[in-house]
Amino acid sequence: MTTLFSTVKTARPALALLGLSLAGLAGCQTNIDAPPSASAGTLDFTSYVSVGNSLTSGYSDGGLYNEAQATSFPALLAQQFATTNKGPAAFVQPAFSGAKKDGSGYIKLQIVNGALAPVVPSAANKFLGEQVAYTGANPALPTELEAYTGAQPDNLGVPGISVLSASAKASLVPQVAGAAKAYGVLNNFYQRLLPAADRGTKDYVTYIGQKTPTFFTCWMGNNDVLTYATNGGVAVATNPFSGLTDTASFRRGYRDIVTTISKAGTVKGVVANIPNVTNIPYFNTVTVAAVAAAFKAANVASPGVFIQVNGTPAVRLATSADLLTLTAQSLVAAGAGSTPGNPLLNQYVLDAAEITTVVTRTNQLNAIIANEAARFKVPVADMNTFFTSIATRGIYTNAVNNTATFASGNLFGLDGVHPTPRGYAVVANEWIRVINNYYGATIPNVDPNTYRGVLLP
């Protein structure tokens, strides 16, 4: 066989000569008729501004860091808008400086005791070697991050922000409205964006009002239910923004936001609604059944998982209707929930009643979002339906089946709440679909497979 292969090489040139004489014919590449070329339609993306929370900022794996920020869905949208020749010359995101590129730090998968486990960076583990941006210089805000000093960004996403905390006009309760005004000293991600003089005095709505967009996206409201839900349906007394936002406050705040960013309806844009947070891996990875099985394996007599509840008795056995949080994983591994005397605490359990409350409020807030969108004549990207579809069916992207499964599903990062770059690409395509449908534009989609899922050690 070796002989056979070597003769191939020597025989090729002779044939190539014949091929060359026909090169004129053979040189033409086949062409597939292009779909309608990228067009912005009547839209103008030269100053695209995105308003929102962590999902807009590019937050992933429990942190905001440069690599994930680079694939935030607004950054991907700006990149696709640019193909229409009406895109922004530059889409500015509030990146951290190179030496502190890992920002607030991010969760990594590591092998712990022979098994893969998400490990949260902290001072104790030297932030997993990440180049974090904590200043350590502000006793009032221990999580203070390196200030962003560039011009006001186009991506205005602030992790953690809710409608209630974004607008001083949302709540009629003076303390809550005051907290929204003072949000720049409460939220380290908002603080780093504000000039020192504005911290503690400028609410988010005023801040975004400084921009003059030609097009905007607005994805707000998630934290008006998510903060409460991810804390197991427990509001923190010292935090006015940790409960479920009431509908009246939400309506006032949401209208304030959209009025401001759309310049009273004169600027075109898109708003997105709130996904059903109980679909995310944060609530579907640590299951009662799995924990009960683990307890049983350790102790045959184990009757199940004991959880703390409001009421008397204050402890009961969990059922399949109870959702355990992803953060409960390390606690149950250490024995929490295995005995009535050591129950899994309330903030790690979203029980059936809490689920109903959260889902009901989500639907109410989404109805308000739909109403306000109609008032300002902008379309709604129905992320609620989209995320539910992903949670139930997954989404195929060219031979890859992406699902809402924690870590291995490619779409959700290691905090179980926020998308991976792949997930953000899929989300960007949903925005594009809505923009194209509503405004008659032909913005090309992103190829999600270009962007990573969860990285493994």
Partner 1 sequence: MQVKSLLLTGGALLAASSGAFASGFQVGLTGAKNVGMGGTGTGLYLDQASQFFNPGAFAFAPTGFQIGGNMAIPRISFRPGDADQGQRTLQNTNVFPFSGFIGFGPKEGKWRVGAGVYTPFGSELHYAQGWEGRYSLTDINLRSVMAQATVAYAITPQFSIGGGVTTLVLGDVDLQRDIPVQAQGSTAPAHAQLTGKAEHKVGYNLGVMFKPSDKLSVGISYRSAVNAHVTDGDVKVTGLPASAAGSFTATKFDVTLPLPDVYSFGVGVRPTDKLLLAFDANLVGWSRYQSLDFRYLNGVLGGNALSSSKRQYQDALAFRIGGQYKVTDNFTVRAGTFYDFSAVRDGFVTPETPDADRIGVTAGLGYTFGERFGIDASFLFEDFMKRSQSQDDLISNGTADRVAGTYKTTIYVPGVQLYVKF
Kind and range of the H or E run holding 11: helix 2-21
Q: Using CB under 8 A, which of 42, 85, 111, 239 touches partner 1?
A: 111
Contact call for residue 398 and partner 1 (CB under 8 A): yes
Q: How far is the CB of 273 from partner 1 (least distance, A)?
A: 23
Contact call for residue 113 and partner 1 (CB under 8 A): no
Contact call for residue 127 and partner 1 (CB under 8 A): no
Which DSSP string corresponds to 191-256?
HTTS-GGGTTT--HHHHHTT---SEEEEE--THHHHHHHHTTT---TT-TTSSPPPHHHHHHHHHH
Stretch that binds partner 1, among 9-17, 50-58, 129-137, 325-333 (CB under 8 A): 9-17
Kind and range of the H or E run holding 291: helix 288-298
Interactions with partner 1, residue window 422-441 (CB under 8 A): 429
Nearest to 171 by CA among 248, 258, 257, 261: 248
Stretch that binds partner 1, among 11-19, 43-51, 166-174, 411-419 (CB under 8 A): 11-19
Contact call for residue 137 and partner 1 (CB under 8 A): no
Contact call for residue 314 and partner 1 (CB under 8 A): no
Nearest to 62 by CA among 123, 16, 107, 7: 107
Q: How far is the CB of 13 from partner 1 (least distance, A)?
A: 11
**Is 137:144 a contact under the CB 8 Å cutoff?**
yes
Contact call for residue 32 and partner 1 (CB under 8 A): yes
Contact call for residue 397 and partner 1 (CB under 8 A): yes
Contact call for residue 400 and partner 1 (CB under 8 A): yes
**Half-sphere exposure at residue 218, Cβ-oriented, CA atoms within 13 angstroms:** 34
Contact call for residue 8 and partner 1 (CB under 8 A): yes
The dihedral formed by the CA atoms of 55, 60, 61 and 64, expressed in degrees to the nearest 10: -110
Contact call for residue 1 and partner 1 (CB under 8 A): yes
Contact call for residue 19 and partner 1 (CB under 8 A): yes
Stretch that binds partner 1, among 4-12, 196-204, 261-269, 368-376 (CB under 8 A): 4-12
**What is the rounded distance in angstroms from the CA atom of residue 455 to the CA atom of residue 96?**
21
Contact call for residue 112 and partner 1 (CB under 8 A): no
Contact call for residue 447 and partner 1 (CB under 8 A): yes
**Is 307:315 a contact under the CB 8 Å cutoff?**
yes
Q: How far is the CB of 447 from partner 1 (least distance, A)?
A: 4
Site string for partner 1, 402-421 (x = CB under 8 A): --------x-----------
Length of the chain: 457
Q: Using CB under 8 A, which of 148, 361, 401, 436 touches partner 1?
A: 401
Q: Which residues lie across from 60 on neighbouring strands? A: 63
Contact call for residue 2 and partner 1 (CB under 8 A): no
How many residues line the site for partner 1 (CB under 8 A)?
49
Question: What are the residues whose beta carbons fall under 8 Å from the beta carbon of 349, sequence distance 6 or more?
Answer: 232, 233, 307, 308, 309, 318, 322, 323, 324, 325, 328
Contact call for residue 341 and partner 1 (CB under 8 A): no
Kind and range of the H or E run holding 208: helix 204-208
Query: In angstroms, what is the C-alpha Rg of the chain?
Result: 25
**Half-sphere exposure at residue 262, Cβ-oriented, CA atoms within 13 angstroms:** 23
For residues 34 and 237, which CB has a smaller minimum distance to partner 1 in the complex?
A: 34
For residues 231 and 429, which CB has a smaller minimum distance to partner 1 in the complex?
A: 429
Q: Using CB under 8 A, which of 69, 74, 103, 108 touches partner 1?
A: 108
**What is the rounded distance in angstroms from the CA atom of residue 225 to the CA atom of residue 359?**
9
Binding residues for partner 1 (CB under 8 A):
1, 3-5, 7-8, 10-12, 15-16, 18-19, 21-22, 25-26, 28-35, 108-109, 111, 116, 396-401, 410, 429, 444-450, 452-453, 455-457
